[in-house]
């Protein structure tokens, strides 16, 4: 994957991080961030935010389910978080649900492999989370 595909479209987003400030969108909410691990782009997307490299746009629509074990409880099973993403590229748009512990953990979309890497915030017992508190970590690999 060419890192410039992701860097150029979000250069302004990262500029806020360079200055030590959190990048806020016009609505006052945090924007997306992109980092790289080899040829994998790792997106951190707050709910409702997108990242676009010119070939694919990934939007985190929200959490479809969160049964993860609360952070202050010992559980036999870790539980599962499910996120809803909208993938857009060329003339195609598809909505997918990816899971943290169950299949599907990832999907292909054109020449891209998209994977669910993590979800923050983390629930506590008796502490329901608002959709706006979540940030999804999503990996994108260009397989060309």
* DSSP 8-state assignment for residue 65: E
- Structural domain boundaries enclosing 31: 4-121+133-142
Classify residue 126: in a domain, yes or no. Answer: no
Q: Do 106 and 98 touch, CB atoms closer than 8 A? A: yes
In a domain, 71, yes or no: yes
The total of structural domains in the chain comes to: 1
Has residue 97 been placed in a domain? yes
Cβ–Cβ under 8 Å, residues 56 and 109? yes
If we measure between CA atoms, which residue out of 28, 29, 40, 32 comes closest to residue 12? 32
The answer to whether residue 106 is domain-embedded is yes
pLDDT in tens, the chain (144 residues): 455 455 434 433 333 333 333 344 445 556 788 887 778 899 999 999 999 988 999 999 999 998 888 878 888 988 899 999 999 999 999 999 999 999 999 999 999 999 999 998 876 777 777 788 899 999 999 998
The closest of 3, 84, 89 to 41, measured between CA atoms, is: 3
Asked if residue 127 is part of any domain, the answer here is: no
In a domain, 85, yes or no: yes
- Is residue 110 in some structural domain? yes
DSSP state of 30: B
pTM of the entire predicted model: 0.77
């Amino acid at each position: 994957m060419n890192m410039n595909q992701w860097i150029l479209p979000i250069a302004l987003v990262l500029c806020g991080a360079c200055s030590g400030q959190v990048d806020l969108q016009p609505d006052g909410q945090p924007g997306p961030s992109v980092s790289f691990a080899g040829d994998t782009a790792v997106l951190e997307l707050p709910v409702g935010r997108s990242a676009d490299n010119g070939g694919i746009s990934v939007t985190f629509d929200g959490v479809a389910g969160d049964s993860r074990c609360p952070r202050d409880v010992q559980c036999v099973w870790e539980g599962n978080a499910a996120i809803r993403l909208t993938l857009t590229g060329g003339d195609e748009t598809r909505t997918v649900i990816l899971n943290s512990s169950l299949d599907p953990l990832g999907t292909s979309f054109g020449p891209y492999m998209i994977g669910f890497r993590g979800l923050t915030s983390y629930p506590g017992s008796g502490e329901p989370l608002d959709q706006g508190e979540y940030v999804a970590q999503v990996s994108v690999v260009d397989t060309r």
